[in-house]
Structure 1
Amino acid sequence: MTHILQELSFYLSYPFVRYALIVGVLIALCSSLLGVTLVLKRFSFIGDGLSHVAFGAMAIATIFKLVNNTIFIMPVTIIAAILLLRTGQNTKIKGDAAIAMLSVSALAVGYLVMNIFSTSANVSGDVCSTLFGSTTILTLTEGEVISCIIMSVLVVAFFILFYNRIFAVTFDENFTKAIGKNAEGYNLMIAVITAVIIVLAMSLVGSLLISALIIFPALSAMRVARSFKGVVVYAAILSVIGAFFGIVLSILCSTPVGATIVILDLILFFINCIIGKIMGR
């Protein structure tokens, strides 16, 4: 145990490790807050669809050799979130069908573009790193960390300031409209913020594993907590724990960051299922 603590202390002496922990914890926190709302609204797979859109945008940005890929990826993902919300409200194309269509199409376009125009000798390796996460979170710059902190603060502030409206839209959207509140506007804001979190989380867990970061903490918290506020708070705690120890374990054991975090979230889910059974939830 002493050896592990000494090794961890040694790694924490490097700024890039501290940057990775800060960004990982903040992304996990933001993902868990919106994850509860998305799961309850039966719209949890929006993260999967938007992550594939972000993958396609990243492939195109890489081909054009943009200095900062986020400048291109972020607007494209936000536009996709808005279109997805509008399409999902269309009676001809239901929400789940729209997500599936967008997800598969974006994934195919991204992979096709990377194969046709890529200058890399290891296309399969690049694709695998993007989909399942890579070591890019260990190469974060101070500017990227500051940007993540600012965006995370804005997401948390939005959730706190509009908590009552989010609660109302989550459980009874028709009632929210009946009392004169702009339910569609709040849904749109939730979709846009989800898109922002998706782009931030791609460097942490990869585009294929982002949905786990959104869904698992919420589902785990629902096994134990009874109230909406309790679920949100407990989900945030579980998500932060999973991200922190997932990054630490990946550094100590040289395992993929994204997969390690998801496996820990899965373990926490089973533990909370057992706790819920014992408590009679």
Structure 2
Amino acid sequence: MLGTLVEMLSYSFMQRALLAGLFVAILAPLVGSFLVYRRMAFIGDTLAHVAFAGVAIGVYVRDGLGWGGVSPFLSALVVSALAALVIQFLADRTDAYNDVSMAIVLSGGFALGTVVISLTGGIAVSINQYIFGSISTVSWHHVRIMAALTALVGGVVAVSYKHLLYITFDESAARVARLDVDLQNSLLVVLTALVIVAAMQIMGVILVAAMLVVPVAAAGQIAPSFKASVLLSIVVAELSVFSGVTLSYTNDVAASGAIVLIAIGLYAAATVADRYVV
């Protein structure tokens, strides 16, 4: 096992993939913890599908229209952030995070992506890496971006932690205390969009939402407090990424799928431990 690990880490592309994945394992649970405890887990899946539309638009403009300077990641970020604000707008108007509203945004985003893809047959090939993830395409530039985003998101959460915590567990009281609840809600959904777009190269837009939810759900089974749950969810995500990337290397399976399946396995183990051991 040790020899296999040393061999894996001797390849530069595996070093890049593992580092990027480990940064995702910090980012996703850090933001996902607030989503899960606010019963907003569905928003991650919604924004992931909207990011697919953003990628499709970026790839079409770059490859289909020949505008080589356009980045699919930038277009995905812009489209996802706008969708996040639309969801927040709908939530403010209905005074709740309505599943129907998010389902409409989700289906609309995915439908837009499929329409854009159909405009040219060549896009379907190049867009697969964004849908399913591709560890071989992670560059050192992308790793540095992930490191910077981890520091940025971590800093924002640290500064806003008390307000986010207050709103997460008692939004009505937060409004009475005259906290800017709408601003904090908008901040949370935009951070979610940022994490999804940052993680989609290694996880793919289809599976990235799972990393926002599954590690947090696993930690929530056994953690004694919210803060402990956040920290433990990051540990679960790190173990899932490390094991999934290693399994991908040794057995030639999709890294993103392996990571999510391992995270689900850890959730099942935590559930059993909570019921029969703890």
TM-score using structure 1 length: 0.91
Q: Residues 243, 41 of structure 1: CA spacing in aligned structure 2 closer, same or farther, 3 A cutoff?
A: same
- Aligned pairs for 1:103-118 within 5 A: 103-118=106-121
Distance 1:268 1:88 in 2: 33
| Matching residue within 26, 38, 53 for 1:29 | 26
Distance 2:107 2:225 in 1: 36
Question: Which residue number in structure 1 is paired with residue 60 of structure 2?
Answer: 63
One-letter identity of the residue aligned with 1:274? V
Question: Which residue number in structure 2 is paired with residue 134 of structure 1?
Answer: 133
Q: Any stretches of 5+ residues in structure 2 without a counterpart?
A: 63-67
One-letter identity of the residue aligned with 1:17? M
Question: Which residue number in structure 1 is paired with residue 89 of structure 2?
Answer: 86
Per-residue CA deviation, residues 181-232 of structure 1 (Å, 9 max, x unaligned), is 1111111111111100010111122112122111111111111012111111
Distance 1:247 1:255 in 2: 9
Q: Any stretches of 5+ residues in structure 1 without a counterpart?
A: none
One-letter identity of the residue aligned with 2:20? V
Question: Which residue number in structure 2 is paired with residue 236 of structure 1?
Answer: 234
Distance 1:35 1:92 in 2: 21
Deviation at 1:237, TM superposition (A): 0.8
Decide whether the 8 Å contact of 1:219 with 1:269 is kept in 2. Answer: yes
| Matching residue within 190, 209, 225 for 2:207 | 209
Distance 1:113 1:162 in 2: 38
Question: Which residue number in structure 1 is paired with residue 65 of structure 2?
Answer: none
Distance 2:190 2:160 in 1: 15
Distance 1:118 1:88 in 2: 37
Deviation at 1:279, TM superposition (A): 4.2
Per-residue CA deviation, residues 51-95 of structure 1 (Å, 9 max, x unaligned), is 111101111111111442222221121111111111122229952
Per-residue CA deviation, residues 112-131 of structure 1 (Å, 9 max, x unaligned), is 211222325xx3x6565533
Deviation at 1:5, TM superposition (A): 2.5
| Matching residue within 176, 196, 199 for 1:198 | 196
| Matching residue within 176, 198, 203 for 1:178 | 176
Per-residue CA deviation, residues 125-148 of structure 1 (Å, 9 max, x unaligned), is 6565533x232x322222221111
Bigger mean CA offset, 191-200 vs 9-18:
9-18
3-state SS, counterpart of residue 45 of structure 1: helix
Decide whether the 8 Å contact of 2:84 with 2:193 is kept in 1. Answer: yes
Cα RMSD over matched residues?
A: 1.8
Question: Which residue number in structure 1 is paired with residue 247 of structure 2?
Answer: 249
Decide whether the 8 Å contact of 1:8 with 1:252 is kept in 2. Answer: no
Question: Which residue number in structure 2 is paired with residue 54 of structure 1?
Answer: 51
Decide whether the 8 Å contact of 1:216 with 1:266 is kept in 2. Answer: yes
One-letter identity of the residue aligned with 1:249? L
Q: Residues 184, 279 of structure 1: CA spacing in aligned structure 2 closer, same or farther, 3 A cutoff?
A: farther
